[in-house]
Amino acid sequence: MTSWLRKYCNTILRYVLFITVLLLSSTGSSPDNRCTSSLISTCEECLSLGPECAWCFQETFLDGAHSSQRCDSVANLMKKGCEVEFIDNPKVRVDVNATLSSSQVAPRDITISLRPGSQASFVVEVQQLERYPVDLYYLVDVSASMQDILDRLKTVGVALSHSMKEHSRDFRVGFGSFVDKPTSPYIDVHPSKIVNPCSDYDVQCRPAHGFIHVLPVTENMTEFTRVIQQQRISGNMDTPEGGFDAMLQAAVCQKDIGWRPEAKHLLLVMTDQPSHLSLDSKLAGIVVPHDGSCHLEGSTYSQSTNMEHPTIGQLAEKLLENSIYSIFAVDQVQYKWYEDLVDLLPGTFLGKLLPKASNLKDLVVQAYKKLLSDVEVEIGVENSQINRFWVNVTTLCPNGSTLTGTAKCSDVQPKQTVFFNITIGMTECPNRVEEGAGEEVLVTVQPVGFNESVTVHVRQACGCACRESKRCHDDPNPPPCADSAESQAADTELDLTDSCRENRGGPLCSDRGTCTCGKCLCDRSSLGTIYGKFCERDDFSCPYAGGVSCAGHGQCVSGVCLCQPGWTGESCMCPVSTETCLSGDGLICSGHGKCVCGRCVCDSPQHSGSLCDKCPTCFSSCQSQWSCIDCHLSNGFGQGNTEQCNRSCTPLVGYVDDITELMGGTWRNCLYPSGDHCHYRFQMGLASDRPQLHISRHRECLYSQQYFMTFLSVFILTVVLGLVILAGIRTLLRSRRWPQLAKPSEKSEDNSKDLSYAPRSNEKTITYRRDRLPEHPVEMHVHIPKMPLSEVWQ
């Protein structure tokens, strides 16, 4: 690389670095405050910036400053001098209407007030009761292939009714049938086939129909059996049937079907084919979307050939609204098709119907148990508003687990309660032109399959209260002069400009604004805000502390901080009171320092910490605690007034009977000398900054050298005396025993080889040699003490 190229690269690199630093600093220096944007000029715009933003509509607030200054957090506005009653700041609220009560779902009615960007949470409790009345509606596909099942239903129906009586306190059944939309291409429209679709097979069938409601829900099983017996099959051309059309009618025609409001509603759909979806209707030239209403004429669905099949979403909504659990009992072949459907329809159970519906009874009982043990809520927001709101659910199941983002618990037993913590947030206010702006939005929390729901009224706090009194002061344009009549003379104008000068002859609006109609409109500055009647105030030309002009505790007037009460110093950063320097013991800086500008300055370098309360070296030597021990001893082990001991040594003193064990680690074992050769043991805890002392109540003394010498001499004297006496006794005994010793004893024979019998000065050793046995010569020592001359030889 040539040097030229290197230089070039270096330059580029430097520029890149420079730009990066610039970018970083520009993002870093921008204050973390959404509310202060210079683009804001009205109260509504301000409130929409975020839930923490508020608007000050005080007339004299920051005279002359741009109106964007009126938008800030409440704390900042108050700091800038706005009084509380002039702050527009709608609150997020949750109000529960407790007048409506229910044993299953609580609460039933909630009102929340939201601002753009804010959210509110509330908890809904849902409890399944023990035994419900149950309404079961058989919705049976009567296309030709279902003949077997229809036959079987005649007997199974009664058996099922018996089994369900165990689980329900009042069981009722109803019946309806469906085939398909009776129009081409779904059915053969040849005149003879319309009347009898099975004419080719010499079988008498009934005409195809979208949905016929046959038997309203009843407890008369005789009636049910009679009706089933009358059912005949029908026929159509294509494979899918019009099941969804029929389901929707069965759900919404509450009165005709006879659904009881207090009962659990089971809609049992029996079919061996998939269902048509909404757009399939186009094949028959049907383009009117389903309106989701009941269209029974007599007992027949009248709009079958006029309206499209319902969408799955529409069907789900209607099933939920009418608290209907659906049970699909379908042929094995179609099981897969319905499996995908179950997740889309709330409160749905899918079961395989064995040939001839042999398992129908068990299937329904199993479905009922499963559906009731699932407790789930669906939350509905009005469609037109849905993109301005978001909803989040956290579920607390009876088994103790908390599920976030899921609104369903399984395996819930009767009488157990499930808690749903629901958070609703509003992202933005409705468009002004949009109708219904500012009105309530309804949100429903519908527990699946329950006859009760929660209504949430969401109030949108998008307007400003100051607007009503036309006092928001958010007009970004300077008002025209109050008396703009041309008759105003030039001298009045002079007067007007005079009112823009702080001092007579001083600069107009402090040279930082323009004088309009006798009022200063201050310049905008990239450095900060200029305001004040004469534009003499700002928030940047004074000393900074903590990154804020005048430490946020004062106003900057003509470059000098005017501190709020309680603050002092050039940049208003020093509190007047010494409260911040008080340590726990009520002393200023723990008695080891002075309070300077709200902070402790410690007297000696030994002490440290924000309250001069730390002194690692103060307590490291045993001797440092002697005065404290002394104090406690003189007070009689805490029985006296320990308060009298110096405060710095009172804390954490404990008395113990004895200190024998060496406590290692952070404890030091110490002695406190007390009188001659006596001491107290104590232990010093080194772990904390303050001394921690265990003082032994037991005084220990050592004997002095003098005592020791006396003791030693007495000891030696005693020993010597004892020895002398012993020797005397021994001598006496020996002299008595002499005759015995003269005779050789057996004992002495044993000791024959004992070398300890070294001759002593006053002994004479005679060795005998007795040849008693030739092979064992025996040697024998006899000690004969030399007789004193005075003794008479016996």
Residue 621 CB, nearest approach to ligand NAG (Å): 15
Residue 227 CB, nearest approach to ligand NAG (Å): 8
For 730, the token pair is 């021994």
**488 near ligand NAG, judged by CB under 6 A:** no
Residue 410 CB, nearest approach to ligand NAG (Å): 4
**421 near ligand NAG, judged by CB under 6 A:** yes
Q: Which of 31, 185, 261, 759 binds ligand NAG (CB under 6 A)?
A: 261
Count residues contacting ligand NAG (CB under 6 A)?
32
Q: What is the DSSP letter of 221?
A: H
**373 near ligand NAG, judged by CB under 6 A:** no
Q: Which of 27, 30, 99, 526 binds ligand NAG (CB under 6 A)?
A: 99
**452 near ligand NAG, judged by CB under 6 A:** yes
Q: What is the footprint of ligand NAG within residues 641-660 (CB under 6 A)?
A: 646
From the list 76-84, 353-361, 401-409, 714-722, the region that binds ligand NAG by CB under 6 A is: 401-409
Which among 214, 211, 144 has a CA at the least distance from the CA of 173?
Answer: 214
**416 near ligand NAG, judged by CB under 6 A:** no
**603 near ligand NAG, judged by CB under 6 A:** no
Based on CB atoms, which residue is closest to ligand NAG, 366 or 394?
394
**451 near ligand NAG, judged by CB under 6 A:** yes
CB hemisphere CA count around 324 (13 angstroms): 28
**410 near ligand NAG, judged by CB under 6 A:** yes
**674 near ligand NAG, judged by CB under 6 A:** no
Residue 97 CB, nearest approach to ligand NAG (Å): 4
Angle between helices 147-164 and 221-230 (to 10 degrees): 170
H helical segments located in 374-501: 490-498
Q: Which residue has the tokens 């409130």?
A: 47
Q: Which of 10, 11, 60, 97 binds ligand NAG (CB under 6 A)?
A: 97
Residue 389 CB, nearest approach to ligand NAG (Å): 10
Identify each DSSP E strand in 389-532 by its residue range.
389-396, 402-404, 408-409, 417-426, 441-447, 454-460, 513-516, 519-522, 530-531
DSSP secondary structure of 283-334: GGT--BPP-----EETTEETTTTTBPPPPHHHHHHHHHHTTEEEEEEEEGGG
Q: The sheet that has 692-701: what strands, in order across it?
A: 653-656, 692-701, 678-685, 667-673
* 746-to-70, 771, 773, 785 alpha-carbon distances in Å: 129, 16, 16, 20
**636 near ligand NAG, judged by CB under 6 A:** no
Q: Which of 399, 688, 713, 735 binds ligand NAG (CB under 6 A)?
A: 399
Q: What is the DSSP letter of 207?
A: P
Residue 318 contacts residue 252 (beta carbons within 8 Å): yes
Rounded to whole angstroms, the Cα distance separating 787 from 450 reads: 131
For 745, the token pair is 């004893």
Residue 269 CB, nearest approach to ligand NAG (Å): 23
Residue 154 CB, nearest approach to ligand NAG (Å): 14
Angle between helices 243-252 and 312-321 (to 10 degrees): 30
Q: Which of 262, 435, 657, 750 binds ligand NAG (CB under 6 A)?
A: 262
From the list 29-37, 294-302, 308-316, 408-416, the region that binds ligand NAG by CB under 6 A is: 408-416
Residue 302 CB, nearest approach to ligand NAG (Å): 27
**254 near ligand NAG, judged by CB under 6 A:** no
DSSP secondary structure of 347-369: SEEEEEEPGGGTTHHHHHHHHHH
From the list 137-145, 304-312, 387-395, 738-746, the region that binds ligand NAG by CB under 6 A is: 387-395
Q: Which of 191, 285, 298, 405 binds ligand NAG (CB under 6 A)?
A: 405
Q: Which of 192, 293, 423, 745 binds ligand NAG (CB under 6 A)?
A: 423
Based on CB atoms, which residue is closest to ligand NAG, 178 or 672?
672
Residue 183 CB, nearest approach to ligand NAG (Å): 34
Which among 267, 270, 274 has a CA at the least distance from the CA of 248?
Answer: 267
> Phi/psi at 223 (nearest 5 deg)?
-60, -45
**Helix %, strand %, coil % of the chain (to 5):** 30, 30, 40
Q: Which of 55, 86, 132, 186 binds ligand NAG (CB under 6 A)?
A: 132
Based on CB atoms, which residue is closest to ligand NAG, 33 or 455?
455
Which among 208, 134, 207, 119 has a CA at the least distance from the CA of 174?
Answer: 134
Rounded to whole angstroms, the Cα distance separating 286 from 279 reads: 9
Angle between helices 360-373 and 147-164 (to 10 degrees): 50
From the list 96-104, 515-523, 546-554, 671-679, the region that binds ligand NAG by CB under 6 A is: 96-104
Per-residue binder mask for ligand NAG (CB under 6 A), 100-129, x = binder: x--------x-----------x-x-----x
Burial of 243: CB neighbours in 10 Å, binned 0-12, 13-18, 19+: buried
**60 near ligand NAG, judged by CB under 6 A:** no
Based on CB atoms, which residue is closest to ligand NAG, 123 or 618?
123
Residue 418 contacts residue 126 (beta carbons within 8 Å): yes
Residue 590 CB, nearest approach to ligand NAG (Å): 12
Rounded to whole angstroms, the Cα distance separating 95 from 457 reads: 10
Handedness of CA 93, 99, 105, 109 (dihedral sign): negative
From the list 15-23, 64-72, 215-223, 477-485, the region that binds ligand NAG by CB under 6 A is: 215-223
Per-residue binder mask for ligand NAG (CB under 6 A), 741-760, x = binder: --------------------
Q: Which of 2, 26, 101, 222 binds ligand NAG (CB under 6 A)?
A: 222
**413 near ligand NAG, judged by CB under 6 A:** no
Based on CB atoms, which residue is closest to ligand NAG, 535 or 628?
628
**131 near ligand NAG, judged by CB under 6 A:** no
**606 near ligand NAG, judged by CB under 6 A:** no
**29 near ligand NAG, judged by CB under 6 A:** no
**627 near ligand NAG, judged by CB under 6 A:** yes
DSSP secondary structure of 228-247: HHH---B--SSSSB-HHHHH
Rounded to whole angstroms, the Cα distance separating 617 from 629 reads: 18
Cα three-residue angle 106-109-110, rounded to 5 degrees: 105
> Which residues contact ligand NAG by CB under 6 A?
97, 99-100, 109, 121, 123, 129, 132, 220, 222-223, 226, 261-262, 390, 392, 394, 397, 399, 401, 404-405, 409-411, 421, 423, 451-452, 627, 631, 646
